[in-house]
Amino acid sequence: MGGDILGQILILLAASVLVLSVVRRFSLPPILGYLVVGMLLGPHALGLASDDEAVRLLAEFGVVFLVFTLGLEFSLARMIAMKSEVLGVGGLQMLLTTSVAGGIAWSLGASPAAAIVLGGALAMSSTAIVVRQLGEQLELTRTHSRFAVGILLFQDLAFAPLLALATALAVADDVLTPEWLLGMVLRALLALAVVLVLGRWLLRPLFREIARHRSTESFTLTVLFVALAGAWSTHALGLSMALGAFLAGMLLSETEFRHQTEAVIKPFQDILLGLFFVSVGMLLDLRLLLMQLPLVLLLLAALLLVKAAIVFGIVRQLVPNTRKALRTGIVVSMGGEFGFALLTLMLKGSAIDTGVAQALLTTIALSMLAGPLLVRYNGRIADFLLRRRSPKPTEVGLETAATRELAKREHVIICGFGRVGQNLARVLETRGFEFIALDLDPHRVRDARQAGDPVVYGDASEPEVLRALGLENASVVVVSFDGPDTALRIVRSVRQLRGDVPVLVRTEDDSKLEKLQAAGATEVVPEIFETSLSLVSHVLLFLKVPPREILETTEDIRHDRYAILRSVFRRRDAHSLDDPEHSMRQQLRTVVLPPGAIAVGRTIGEAGLDPKRVVVTALRREGIVGREPDDGTMLREGDVLVLWGTPEDLEHGENKLLMG
């Protein structure tokens, strides 16, 4: 049995590698490739892989980890500030869609309980597809994405009672009794108490203790334990695993360990989430699709149009922008993985006709197959439906156009927008020099662009990326990435395209100093040695050594490639994980004020921020950035505040802005 499961997983992984290579070549969403793999290799097509229980379990963990990382993006304060999106828009979408679909099922002879489950199953959208695709497009902070995520979060909450109802239908027909409803409410409250109360008191001390040991392995295991423990706690009470994982992630988002948590969970999430999409593709029966093609296409069109229309109507009442409301409806119009789970349970209990269930499963699978494309091109689809031949440029479009124009002028290219890159950018800005920065951290790129900085997502070692950023017009190229191997690839790519531009490289040590210089680096600045030189200069100054001699000494050391500083004893117990003190260093964070934020309508001085702990370094409004805004500046909905402080103080400051 174990060998069969391993063989199936190997077949799926091999096919995924092949198909994803093709998908990437044509710049299509990777989710689409996973769905195609499952459809072709599944039991309804080539039959090389079966929809095995073990594969489905692994796939379900992929959704758990995805929702866990989604929780990391939404603190409890942000959730409360988004109550109108989650409870208002999400609740209305779920109620109206369930009523429409359930009413049709009831009129066709389904029992009231079965009609509710069927309606709820069709009302669900794919959290995995929507969140992942919006994240890849760096759209998670846009208006349509905020409403879409609010809808998805309410669907996750609504899945718990629907799951319990479907489970009860599988074993009995007598459900929806007062006793059953009371039991569901009590279990939901108990689950929330377990995750929220215990997690709030235990998580931060636990992670501080783990971080004190400086062990990457221990930290990774702890993150996995917390995510799965949250999922288990709600699952044990008859609720969805996704709900517990989301709550656990949301609690961790309020600690200083959020970014490290995202980094260690991502490999597990990507692999298992790929298996989830493969398992979804396996449910698509090509033969049934051909036999019931007219019915399935009719159901697919009805599903997409009705859900999009309902969401459009709800959001349009809150947002005076037809395009944004329509984009929200398009994004969540597809079916979802929770719909599969509900329909599968209905089949087990014979609460629904097998032919009808298969048609609905195929409809949802097809909608999810089209889902990545719907999310990817939601703006273009909205423009087409609104018959906009010359649509008004979006804020993202304006930023992209501005960056392209900047690339045509003289500027500095900064490869890596971490702490060093950001400090360099601020100095260049104050001196009147223009710059373009690249980074491979999508969250950092998103925050920087929200703050008004010309930062793009891209690999600086790719020649095409360097060309697009105007390398031919660059005055200087600065490489500030930590990894020397990455820096070496970037230097070689720069020299491949242009041999005369100065290239400055910052490294942590001298491990690749000679190779970097041989590759064409104009100057290599080892961070450790330069810190040592700065300390040497200060010590000699206090020892009354003349400044001229100090300068000569430091220049001689640099000329000898830091040879005198290399004779040091290396620690045997060095670890890669940052210690708690390192984690508590000050940093920047952007905070977008949603409609429900308590700071909206107040001045910065009245927002309750402690100026000794949190500093507002910039405010961005309608694309215009103001550095060091005055305390009397009135805050508005949609403002982007750039805060400076320690992670804990930033969390407290964000809570103040959102909740008071």
- CA atoms of 305 and 303, how far apart (whole Å): 6
| Whether residue 379 is found in the same domain as residue 448 | no
Q: Are residues 186 and 312 both part of a single domain?
A: yes
Number of domains in the chain: 3
Mean pLDDT of 515-540: 79
For residue 459, how many C-alpha atoms fall within 13 Å in the half-sphere facing its CB?
8
Neighbours of 520 (CB within 10 A): 16
Q: Is the model's pLDDT at 76 over the cut of 80?
A: no
Q: What are the distances in angstroms from CA 621 to CA 82, 86, 333, 394, 629?
A: 20, 25, 31, 14, 12
Structure tokens at 27: 């710049």
pLDDT in tens, 123-150: 999 887 887 778 767 676 677 888 888 8
Q: Which residue has the higher pLDDT, 416 or 271?
A: 416
Q: Does the pLDDT at position 338 exceed 80?
A: no
Q: Residue 581 — very low, low, confident or very high, per pLDDT cuts 50/70/90? A: very low
pLDDT for the residue numbered 631: 87
Domain boundary among 521, 544, 575: 521
Q: What is the pLDDT of residue 554?
A: 76
Q: How many CB atoms lie within 10 A of CB 462?
A: 14
pLDDT at 572: 37
Let me know whether 31 and 155 are in one domain. Answer: yes
CATH number, position 448? 3.40.50.720
For 514-531, give the DSSP string.
HHHHHHT-SEEEEHHHHH
Examine the domain organization and report whether 190 and 241 are in the same domain: yes
534 assigned to some structural domain: no
* 351 confidence band (pLDDT: 50, 70, 90): low
Residue 575 counted as domain residue? no
Is beta strand 624-627 parallel, antiparallel or unpaired with respect to 640-645?
Answer: unpaired
* Contact assessment for residue 644 and residue 419, using Cβ atoms and an 8 Å cutoff: no
pLDDT at residue 122 in the model: 92
pLDDT for residue 476: 92
Same-domain check for residues 358 and 401:
no
pLDDT at 184 over 80: no
For the beta sheet containing 640-645, the strands, ordered from the edge strand earlier in sequence to the opposite edge, are 587-592, 640-645, 615-621, 624-627
Angle at 531 between CA 525 and CA 534, to 5 degrees: 110
Contacts of residue 104, Cβ cutoff 8 Å, sequence gap at least 6: none
Give the pLDDT score at 577: 40
Q: Are 379 and 416 contained in the same domain?
A: no
Q: Residue 561 — pLDDT band, cuts 50, 70, 90?
A: low
Reading phi first (left if > 0) and then psi (alpha if -120 to 50, else beta), residue 291 is in alpha
User: 643 is in which domain, residue-wise?
Assistant: 584-658
Using alpha carbons, select from 118, 141, 654 the residue that is nearest to residue 443: 141
**DSSP 3-state of 6:** helix
For residue 536, being part of any structural domain is answered with no
Q: What percent of the chain has a predicted confidence (pLDDT) above 90? A: 10
Strand partners, 485: none
**Quick one: 341 and 490 in the same domain?**
no
First CA to last CA distance, the chain: 57
The model's confidence at residue 484, banded by pLDDT at 50, 70 and 90, is: confident
User: Do 110 and 352 touch, CB atoms closer than 8 A?
Assistant: yes
In this prediction, residues 629-656 reach a mean pLDDT of: 83
Token digits of residue 197 = 């109360």
Q: What percent of the chain has pLDDT over 70?
A: 80
Q: Is 0.85 surpassed by the pTM of this model?
A: no
Cβ-proximal residues to 360 (8 Å cutoff; 6+ apart), any chain: 118, 121, 122, 299, 343
Average of pLDDT values for 617-623?
80
**Residue 415 pLDDT:** 92
Q: Residue 570: pLDDT above 60?
A: no
Last residue within a domain, chosen from 363, 385, 407: 385
Q: Residue 250, Cα to own-chain centre: how many angstroms?
A: 13
Domain holding 333: CATH number?
Answer: 1.20.1530.20
Same domain as 300, residue 434: no
Shared-domain flag, residues 447 and 333: no
Looking at 506, 521, 536, which one is the last position of a domain? 521
Return the pLDDT at 637. Answer: 82
Same-domain status, 356 and 491: no
Determine the Cα–Cα distance for residues 229 and 69; give it in Å rounded to an integer: 15
For residue 651, the domain's CATH number is 3.30.70.1450
Q: Which residue has the higher pLDDT, 394 or 226?
A: 226
220-240 average pLDDT score: 82
> Does residue 500 surpass a pLDDT of 80?
yes
pLDDT at 99 over 90: yes
**Assigned domain for 540 exists:** no
| Res. 540 pLDDT band, cuts 50 70 90 | confident
CA angle 169, 174, 178 (to 5 degrees): 110
pLDDT for 574 equals 37
Mean pLDDT of 94-113: 88
Per-chain mean pLDDT for the chain: 78
Q: Is residue 545 part of a domain?
A: no
Q: Which residue has the higher pLDDT, 73 or 578?
A: 73
Residue 533 belongs to a domain: no
Across 339-343, 370-374, 455-459, least confident range = 339-343
- Write down the pLDDT at residue 576: 39
Alpha-helical runs (H) found in 137-240: 143-171, 178-193, 199-212, 216-236
Would you give the distance in Å from CA 240 to the centre of its chain? 21
d(CA 13, CA 15): 5
Residue 249, domain member (yes or no): yes
**Would residue 529 count as lying in a domain?**
no
| 82 and 167 part of one domain | yes
The reply to whether 229 and 151 lie within a common domain is yes
Please tell me the predicted confidence (pLDDT) of residue 95.
92
311 band by pLDDT with thresholds 50, 70 and 90 = very high
* pLDDT value, residue 566: 45
Residue 377 token pair: 């091109």
DSSP-derived letter for residue 84 is I
Could you tell me which of 646, 480, 79, 19 has the C-alpha nearest to residue 278? 19
Tell me: pLDDT of 642 over 80.
yes
Q: How confident is the model at residue 486 (pLDDT cuts 50, 70, 90)?
A: confident
Using a 10 angstrom Cβ sphere, with 0-12 exposed, 13-18 middle and 19 or more buried, the burial of residue 643 is buried
Across the range 175-182, mean pLDDT stands at 64
In terms of residues, how long is the chain? Answer: 660
Per-residue pLDDT averaged across 184-190, rounded? 70
- Looking at residue 1, its pLDDT comes to 42
Q: Residue 471 above 80 pLDDT? A: yes
Q: Kind and range of the H or E element at 26? A: none
Q: What is the mean pLDDT of residues 251-259?
A: 73
Question: How confident is the model over 140-168, as a mean pLDDT?
Answer: 78
Look at 108-117, 385-394, 627-636 and tell me which has the smallest mean pLDDT: 385-394
